[in-house]
A and B are shown apart, each in its own frame.
Chain A
Amino acid sequence: MVTGLNVDWVTVTVFLILFIVFTYLGFYGSRWRRGDLSRLDEWGLAGRRLGAALVWFLVGADLYTAYTFIAVPSAFFAKGPIYFFAVPYVAWTFGVALLTMPRLWTVAKNRGYVTAADFVRDRFNSKALAIAVALTGVVAELPYVALQIIGMQAVLGVLLLGLGVSSKIVSDLALTLAFIILAAFTFTSGLRGATLDGVFKDILIWITVIVTIIVALVNYGNFAKALAIAHTVLPKMNYYFLSSKLYSAYWTLALGSALALYLYPHAINGSLAAQDREKLKIGTAFLPLYGIGLALLALFGLLIFNVPAALHLVLTTHNGAYVVPALVAATTPDWFTGLAFLAIFVGGLVPAAIMSIGVANLFIRNVVGEFVKLTPQSEARWAKIAAAIYKFIALAFVFVVPPTYAIQLQLLGGIIITQTLPAVFLGLFTNKLEKYSTLTGWAAGIISGVGLTVYVNFYVYHYTALETSLFATPLGPIFIALIALAINLLIAGIGSAIAYLIGWRPYGIITEKDFEEEVKPPTIGKQEK
């Protein structure tokens, strides 16, 4: 039994009751704004019917994940202010989203696209590039889902420690059960279930963040006290400000991550589910506000120094992932801890559902669909099955390989997903990029990004694992995703220029009008039936 944690059977009961509500909402989704769920856009995009508020709740629930809630405070606690780069990152990423997603939404609506790869295929007239974009999404998303599970394990870990049960089997069983339920309602309700659960998750997360920070500040002392204690406990750390040597690292990590986020299938999937372009824009513009919750959670990594029981648990277990759950359990009553733990737990499940939907759409439409002719019904059926399988692959991945591997692969995932930027984001604004050049740029970006990461970690620093994604340059440390992207863009640009000189001309199946105004065809959906 770990002392000082307000975890008991009341906590477990509240957790379970709220999990039942979560499950109910997930299944109820299939009847909410009822649509023909045998169609892929009805199942996977909730019929493209979400208003501004639901876009905010869904995309917020989707992007601010359990892993962010666990990993950012944990990294901030361990490494200091450098990890506050998550804040400019989440501010900038919505600027990037507002620049790209309304255009992607419009062309997708006009031309019936469900994924970014659908668009790339037509824009570049290239199956190969579409498959490359789709597979990059499928591969990069897997460690992301795996990390959700690791975030959820941190919550279960503190819950079980508090109860005096220290058993990996109990935690694994609980996770497996949760994933079976998640897979079942994702199969039946698709994005509708995830949307309702997203609203549920967001409300609980905000209650958790606000209540915990107020209780911790009022009962345990302010940041000045925490900073002073931090200085005595960890004298080498400086939480007061960012070392000027780390400016380039801070800035490039924020920029690279901001460019990458809306290339992930789950972010694009959430945006394409909007009802119209204006609602998408308004919902997205409000999303930096959600980042305030993330910033406050990061500061839990500092406030924990005021709370001896929580600090003791983190330092003795050497598990930084316990920062947030330990702080919550030590400062709030048992029932509230149950609510907060469930909030973080479903904070992992909701993104996992949306990620698996996004990946399934990509894999079935843009990979399998390129080789096998699928009817709309069989396409939707296979996507539902693929989404379920993908979740269990991620779960198996977490059970089989050590958590550090998932974290390393997530680091690589961020670098490789960035390499789809020329095809997806630049493709939205120009048709002057030639397909073979863009594909070569993509390959060069992935090879150089992965190669540079391996080189830096194993040959420069002689680490035994991938620990850093920064490359030391004369300008200071730079995020490798951006270096690889520069190589990628250079090749795509020069290659396209050469192609143009030897007579290649842009392919024009998508017109400027497809991006600009929503053409409202007379209810295609009904005619098809």
Chain B
Amino acid sequence: MKLYYWAIFLATIVDIILYSIFPVFNRVEPTVGGLPFFYTYQIIMLAVSTVLFLIVALFVKR
């Protein structure tokens, strides 16, 4: 289980970084259905967070 906690800690830090790189996502273009990238990026990252967390939850058993 020790390894799991390190892995999920790392995954959480990666997730925090994904939402901290404001210059990358705090912009209008490209838009989807007129929706600025600021919103679409962060919504897509919810799916990415799920995948990131699932990988750790499913595969890091020790």
How far apart sit A102 and B8, CA to CA, in the bound complex (Å)?
A: 11
How far apart sit A222 and B39, CA to CA, in the bound complex (Å)?
A: 14
Q: Contact check, A87 vs B27: say whether CB atoms are below 8 A apart.
A: no
- B13 to chain A minimum Cβ distance, whole angstroms, is 8
Q: Which bucket holds chain B's interface residue count? A: 35 or more
**Digit string of B23-62 for contact with A (CB within 8 Å is 1, else 0)?**
0001110010111101100110111011001101110000
How far apart sit A223 and B33, CA to CA, in the bound complex (Å)?
A: 6
A20 within 8 Å of B (CB atoms): no
How many residues on A have C-beta within 8 angstroms of the other chain's C-beta atoms?
48
- B58 to chain A minimum Cβ distance, whole angstroms, is 7
Q: Contact check, A288 vs B53: say whether CB atoms are below 8 A apart.
A: yes
What residues of A have a CB within 8 angstroms of the CB of B2 in the complex?
516
Interface of A is mostly: helix
Set A87, A227, A281: member contacting B57, Cβ < 8 A: A281
What residues of A have a CB within 8 angstroms of the CB of B9 in the complex?
99
How far apart sit A4 and B3, CA to CA, in the bound complex (Å)?
A: 58
- B39 to chain A minimum Cβ distance, whole angstroms, is 7
- B2 to chain A minimum Cβ distance, whole angstroms, is 8
Residues A241 and B27 in contact in the complex (CB < 8 Å), given A91-B15, A99-B5: yes
**Digit string of A213-251 for contact with B (CB within 8 Å is 1, else 0)?**
000010000111111000000000001111010010001
Q: Contact check, B34 vs A247: say whether CB atoms are below 8 A apart.
A: no
- B36 to chain A minimum Cβ distance, whole angstroms, is 5
Q: Contact check, B46 vs A91: say whether CB atoms are below 8 A apart.
A: yes
> B residues engaging A (CB < 8 A)?
1-2, 4-5, 8-9, 11-12, 15-16, 19-20, 22, 26-28, 31, 33-36, 38-39, 42-43, 45-47, 49-50, 53-54, 56-58
Q: Which of A6-14, A291-299, A378-386, A413-421 contacts B (4 or more CB under 8 A)?
A: A291-299
Q: Contact check, B22 vs A92: say whether CB atoms are below 8 A apart.
A: no
Which of B4, B5, B9, B28 is packed against the most chain A CB atoms within 10 Å? B5
Given contacts A224-B33, A285-B53, A285-B58, 9 further A-B contacts (CB under 8 A): A87-B46, A91-B46, A227-B36, A240-B28, A241-B28, A242-B26, A244-B26, A289-B50, A292-B43
Q: Contact check, B34 vs A223: say whether CB atoms are below 8 A apart.
A: yes
What residues of A have a CB within 8 angstroms of the CB of B42 in the complex?
84, 87-88, 295
Q: Contact check, B1 vs A84: say whether CB atoms are below 8 A apart.
A: no
Sampled A-B contacts (25; CB under 8 Å) = A84-B42, A91-B15, A91-B46, A94-B49, A95-B12, A96-B12, A98-B12, A102-B1, A103-B5, A224-B33, A224-B34, A225-B34, A227-B34, A240-B28, A254-B19, A255-B16, A284-B57, A288-B46, A288-B50, A289-B47, A292-B46, A295-B39, A295-B46, A299-B39, A429-B5
A81 within 8 Å of B (CB atoms): yes
- A232 to chain B minimum Cβ distance, whole angstroms, is 15
What residues of B have a CB within 8 angstroms of the CB of A84 in the complex?
38-39, 42
Q: Contact check, A247 vs B50: say whether CB atoms are below 8 A apart.
A: no
A392 within 8 Å of B (CB atoms): no
- A424 to chain B minimum Cβ distance, whole angstroms, is 16
- B31 to chain A minimum Cβ distance, whole angstroms, is 7
User: In the complex, which residue of chain A has the Cβ closest to the Cβ of B37?
Assistant: A241
